[in-house]
Structure 1
Amino acid sequence: MVRLRHRYLVTEYSVTDGRDSEADNAAIRSSSVLEALTNSIRRLHGVHGVAVSKAGLLVKYINNSTQILFIRMRRSACSLVSSAIPFIRQVDGKSVTFRTIYTGATINHCNKFLVKYQRKILQEQYGSLKTDLQRQYFQRDLDKLKPYSVQLGST
């Protein structure tokens, strides 16, 4: 029996609608992402591209607060799917831009990458703070995330 091999794309998205409410704006559904991705593949690679990529194509994880999602596909369709992602412009009637930040062979590797990536973003935000008071507030907010043990000191 042959094992099916998959690839996972860690993708960051940003909603670029002109509305004021960011929370409502950022929420997208996985079914809508799959529909937009299938349409993008159809435009770029035709019916053959859709047929190759449709089997095994799935949004495994979506986090609307961090605007990160994992897309799983078969290894043979990875180049088709990854080439179509930047061309997605609308999801659920919202203007959206997608950016692939990592391609992994397992979901565990993607999770490890995501922890490093989020830590790097937090360190950049912490470094950009100008006053000690801002740093104290930032550290206080991180302490609320204690179960996740976020430390920004020397790593």
Structure 2
Amino acid sequence: MVRFKNRYIALRIDPNKLPSNSVYKISSSALYHSILNKVQQLHGDFGTASIKVGFSAKYCNELTRMAIIRVRHGPHKFITSTLPLVKEIDQEKVVIHTLYVGATLLHCNKFLQKYQRRKLEELWLHMKPNGREELEKLVMDLDVSKLTTKMRKNH
């Protein structure tokens, strides 16, 4: 039996027209197809065929604009070279930042938690002291509906 190694890539998606505190609706399939189309443009049929087997968008968060994609080890280099050149998702202009490339989903998750903790501490600088604990619970739970209502109340 052969074991296939995967790479998990953590991304931050920044839309050009939306402010940083608004919710950006993105689907996993839209992210998948935009990356696949860009790989087709840059690396041709060989690049598309090599990544297509194990490639999937595992996680997309609308509020934090984070995403995790999975691709097989080896062909992940096609994806990492293509990500900075993806400029559109669902006819909306975006900038994609590669944050982390890891071997397991667990390590990618740990990285995203640390990253979100740093962003949370940056938010705390601009908030009233009494709302910090509640906001921390909401951000770390990643429940989008509760977090958007809380952010609207504090601003």
Q: TM-score range by the shorter chain?
A: 0.7 to 0.9
6 and 147 in structure 1: CA distance in 2 versus 1, 3 angstrom threshold? closer
CA distance in 1 between partners of 2:133 and 2:62 (Å): 23
Q: Which amino acid aligns with 1:139?
A: R
Q: Report the TM-score when normalising by structure 1.
A: 0.81
Q: Please say if residues 11 and 99 of structure 2, whose CA atoms lie closer than 8 Å, have aligned partners that are also in contact.
A: yes
**RMSD, matched Cα:** 2.3
Map Cα deviations across residues 82-102 of structure 1 (whole Å, 9 max, x no partner): 111111111111111110100
Q: Secondary structure at the match of 1:3?
A: coil
Structure 1 stretches of 4+ with a deviation exceeding 6 A read: none
1:142 aligns with 135
46 and 22 in structure 1: CA distance in 2 versus 1, 3 angstrom threshold? same
Structure 2: gaps of 5 or more residues: 142-155
Q: Check if 1:48 corresponds to 2:43.
A: no
1:87 aligns with 85
Structure 1: gaps of 5 or more residues: 149-155
Query: Cα offset for 1:36?
Result: 0.7
Q: Report the TM-score when normalising by structure 2.
A: 0.81
Query: Cα offset for 1:32?
Result: 1.1
Q: Secondary structure at the match of 1:102?
A: strand
Q: Is the radius of gyration larger for structure 1 or structure 2?
A: 1
Q: Please say if residues 22 and 63 of structure 2, whose CA atoms lie closer than 8 Å, have aligned partners that are also in contact.
A: no
Aligned residues: 140
